[in-house]
Structure 1
């Protein structure tokens, strides 16, 4: 029985000169038609070259006349040639189903990374698994920096007219894994490196100057990449991913974020899920970059429809809406309109969302004490007497301030105890500190049911006046006069 690849790797580590041909054997396995053997060859080469790179045994080849070469020089040259051969074969395998990531050289292998990413950001092959496998490497600041540089080169040279969905999926997946640190100085502070350099004493060092990780250069690459990405034709799925990712990870690195106005506004005007996702980007442009968009709150108000409780991005919407309505510069009539719209929606909202809605309303009343008159406004006690016009899109004309929270009062008798309890702010003094709604935004029916089942029911609670003796046979029975069991 031939030794396993683990045994071969172990033997190589014990004596690399004596067992050098193991590398050749693994290289040959990469050309085998058996996928299992190819995979074992990749694993073996990876283990060997990582071992050699960590020990500094693979060095950039320097031409030395053959007659002046020592045995050590010849062996190092041979190792370097095999390393190049392995790299080329692994790159070629990216065009096939058997794939695996590779490691760099002594100093950061920018050219090798460029070649690798050129293959990964493919127009024709879905490299999702390979790209996901790079997550650990991209956490290293040097790998992240050179990845951005390589991606900026890729998007600039790519023909926009030939962009495919596969290409965009590969590119987006790679971008979503890049997390650029927020820095105010000129250099990125390296907390973790892919290639750790060594000083003259053999100690590891993380010198920024050696790696030249300049934040302005990384920022320039980000701008190049995203200016291209938002100009590409995007599918619905890619559009959604961009609307989530750009506000959270990209916009503060852009030189002119206001250029994203068209991108976000187009999505905001489309309605549905895209409008919900565009909210954060539009708000950032309004709040931080002075975008003039006076209809922002009117558009947000218009999104409050019954369908919002069934949307995939419901948690995100409520957390963002809570943030948007926290500004002290928002007029009270606007907040009153939101409170009243939420109160009306509570009549048709699913039970799993009602505690969230009620706590949200309570928070707005705590935030704007002047609106607490809505709790006991005697001018509106039911639907017929309510001056509020739910069909009026203009919040200044919907007469929310003249209304009351009679809708919330109807929920005081709700069958679910947690919901009726959440209406307690109608009868008690509102707390000073707002409720934490972050734990409520993703409540499901299963959680409501589980919580209800854990409630303690006292056995002494009466359910009937007389103990029944059968299905229809009990004292003063009236039903059996007209019904019988067949």
Structure 2
């Protein structure tokens, strides 16, 4: 037979009487919580009678005087004080729960009630008043069961009415109060992760429609404490593998991506895993460094399987080699993701370069078509791309080996020299120093700068008829372009560039190679603005010549249109 509800209206009096005889009726104060002033019973009764008399309407039918006695905030504080004062006032907990869950009430009242309940339950947890023990009387067992049920209702209410609302302050307050309960529960001897509310907190953060809640959790807890981070890894895997609604899974994957991406440091030893939020005794929350990283790896893989956007892919590729791959005990599992990203083309391929090179250099993974793919990225847009500086840094690293075939190096030199003819000045000033450094590292390619024809007949034929460039710009394989048989006539052409800085820089190819190499960093950050500022700040030795005579005609001549006017007339008629 089910036991009757001890806090039903018919049994309040009996239970209230039993509270007075229970041991430990007054809970000890908790450190950091201000102790409430105990009010004498006679004074409290007199104050209640006064408040009742004030609330009675006047004989004239007017409203009662507003002296603050009906203030909801005062009512919340009074209910809390009575609960902490005597166990017979535990019924006030239900009233505070109703205020905290009431969506129609003001947010300030709900927040104040939730904070008051946090203080009440914290004292009950610390004092042990919510723990069952052997030999406990049946009325006390009913009271403990009721308190536990209210405690669960309180935490569920914080998740439902605080974390899932749109009020930023309520979200932050709910998260703080819930995490406070996790911390206090961890101090108990029977603490277990399986019975904690942390799982529901993390799930609420992951499926929330508000990014502010996620950022709050990442800044205060996920980014600081290893145990919270470790348990978040496990929750991400379970949530993304469960049968949740597609929209919720998409939001969870997006929030998971942002949380994982917020981790800027990677632990390298067991000593780096010591910052815990919980205070449980016994085994540490994080078993070992290898298990810690394995959970992080599985979280990333679960997030990638759930699907990421194009912009998220670019963001991930930009930090993969130094911020994500070190979390992976088996970084080779990222190989398929990187090769797929590399095959996308454009800026995505550029960003995938560093990750692939990291796996090739650090993990000895083989990617035979790497340089062929790299060569295919050299198109007309590469020198206009906003990732141009990043690409040339990586390209300089990839081509730094002196053991690369001269035929392959010559193809890169020739293709970039050809693209420089159509590039902006800021792109050309990067290509020329890079080509100079390649000639220094690979002397076998210097024939492209100075290939002298010794046969008199062939020399005369070249002077009269010229020759076709043997370089095949359309060939995809850098080993089959015949670039080594060609020359860098494009760089000589750039010596007559309209921009004086570019023209001067291009002349280094025609001079002796006395400089060992150029620092590419000195040329990567040039732009139209920077080049223009250099010209405007230049000290002029003499004033430039300007045209001071204003022409009388532009499109016409004495007898009609001049050639420019005729051309303009044809354009107008064609349109």
TM-score normalised by the shorter chain: which range applies?
0.7 to 0.9
Deviation of 1:294 (Å): 1.7
**Which of 17, 38, 56 pairs up with 2:36?**
17
Deviation at 1:255, TM superposition (A): 4.0
Structure 1 position 340, deviation (Å): 1.2
The answer to whether 1:453 aligns with 2:536 is yes
Q: Go from structure 1 to structure 2 and tell me whether the alpha carbon gap of 1:196 and 1:270 turns closer, same or farther (over 3 Å shift).
A: closer
Deviation, 1:451, is: 3.2
Q: Which moved more, 1:354-363 or 1:370-379?
A: 370-379
What is the number of residues matched between the two proteins? 437
Note the C-alpha offset of 1:40. Answer: 7.2
CA distance in structure 2 between the aligned counterparts of 1:339 and 1:154, rounded to whole angstroms: 51
Q: What is the aligned partner in structure 2 of residue 7 from structure 1?
A: none
Over 3 Å counting, the alpha-carbon distance change for 1:395 and 1:126 in structure 2 is same
Q: Name the CA shift for 1:234/1:64 in 2 (closer, same or farther; >3 Å).
A: closer
1:91 aligns with 2:159: yes
| Aligned match of 2:490 | 407
Find 1:471's aligned residue among 547, 550, 554: 550
Shift of 1:435: 0.8
Match of 1:217 in 2: 291
Match of 1:6 in 2: none
> Is residue 343–residue 349 contact of structure 2 (8 Å, CA) maintained in 1?
yes
Residues 312-461 of structure 1: pairs in structure 2 closer than 5 A: 312-378=386-452, 385-426=468-509, 427-429=511-513, 431-437=515-521, 440-458=523-541, 460-461=542-543
CA gap 1:389/1:84 in 2 versus in 1, 3 angstroms: same
Q: Which residue does 2:236 correspond to in 1?
A: 151
Partner SS, residue 550 of structure 2: coil
Structure 1 residue 139 corresponds to structure 2 residue 223: yes
Give CA deviations for 1:348-383 in whole Å, capped at 9, x if unaligned: 112232222223223323333443443334479999
Give the Å deviation of 1:386.
3.2
Q: Partner of 2:344 in structure 1?
A: 270
Structure 1 residue 119: deviation in Å?
0.8
Deviation at 1:221, TM superposition (A): 0.5
**Any conservation in 1 of the 2:317–2:351 contact (CA below 8 Å)?**
yes
For residue 286 of structure 1, the aligned residue among 353, 360, 374 is 360
The whole-number CA distance in structure 2 between the counterparts of 1:236 and 1:260 is: 17
* 1:63 corresponds to 2:137: no
What does the per-residue CA deviation read over 1:395-420, in whole Å, with 9 as the maximum and x for residues that have no partner?
A: 22212223332222222333334433
Change (3 A) 1:80 1:429: farther
Does the 8 Å CA contact 1:113/1:150 hold for their aligned counterparts?
no
Is the partner of 1:310 in helix, strand or coil? coil
Answer yes or no: is 1:181 the counterpart of 2:249: no
In 1, Cα distance between the equivalents of 2:492 and 2:78?
A: 79
Q: Secondary structure at the match of 2:365?
A: coil
330-339 or 381-390, larger mean C-alpha shift: 381-390
Is the aligned partner of 1:306 residue 2:388? no
Is 1:195 aligned to residue 277 of structure 2? yes
Does the 8 Å CA contact 1:145/1:213 hold for their aligned counterparts? no
Change (3 A) 1:479 1:265: closer
**Distance in structure 2 (CA, Å) of the matches to 1:197 and 1:452:** 64
The partner residue of 1:115 within 190, 196, 200 is 200
> Which residue of 2 is the match for residue 73 of structure 1?
none
Q: 1:362 to 1:182 in 2, by over 3 A?
A: farther
Matches within 5 A, 1:64-79: none
| Structure 1, 383-392 or 56-65: larger mean CA deviation | 56-65
Relative distance call for 1:32 and 1:385 in structure 2 (3 A) is: same
Q: What is the SS of the residue equivalent to 1:294? A: coil
Q: CA deviation at 1:461?
A: 3.6
Give deviations 1:100-156, integer Å, cap 9, x for gaps: 24244155996343222111111xx43322222334333324243333233333334
8 Å CA contact 1:258–1:291 kept in 2: the answer is yes
Alignment partners' CA distance in 2, 1:479 and 1:275: 50
Deviation at 1:338, TM superposition (A): 0.9
Structure 1 residue 445, shift from structure 2 partner = 2.8
- Indicate conservation of the 8 Å contact 1:412/1:421, yes or no: yes
> Following superposition of structure 1 onto structure 2, how do residues 121-132 of structure 1 map, counting pairs within 5 Å?
121-122=206-207, 125-132=208-215
Does the 8 Å contact 2:206/2:214 carry over to 1? no
Instruction: Please say if residues 234 and 299 of structure 2, whose CA atoms lie closer than 8 Å, have aligned partners that are also in contact.
Output: no
CA contact (8 A) 1:148 1:222 kept: yes
CA separation of 1:158 and 1:117: change in aligned 2, threshold 3 A: farther
Q: How does 1:232-251 map to 2 (within 5 A)?
A: 232-251=306-325
Measure the CA separation in 2 of the matches of 1:444 and 1:162: 43
Summarize the Cα distance change of 1:289–1:40 in structure 2 as closer, same or farther, 3 Å threshold.
same
Q: Deviations 1:193-250 (Å, cap 9, x if unpaired)?
A: 363869xxxxxxxx99755462112122123223323333443334334434544433
Partner of 2:62: none
1:288-331 Cα distance to aligned partner (Å, 9 max, x none): 43433321101110110012233454343333222222234422
**In 2, Cα distance between the equivalents of 1:208 and 1:139?**
24
Instruction: Tell me the equivalent position of 1:203.
Output: none
Does structure 2 conserve the Cα–Cα contact (< 8 Å) formed by 1:160 and 1:232? no
Gaps of 5+ in 1: 1-11, 69-78, 199-206
* Contact 1:26/1:45 (8 A) holds in 2: no
For 1:425-452, what per-residue CA distance to the aligned partner results, in whole angstroms no more than 9, with x for missing partners?
3225353354143x65454433333333
2:256 to 171, 187, 193: 171
Higher normalized helix content (fraction of residues): 2
Q: Which runs of 5+ in 2 are unaligned?
A: 1-30, 39-75, 81-94, 137-146, 454-461, 563-575
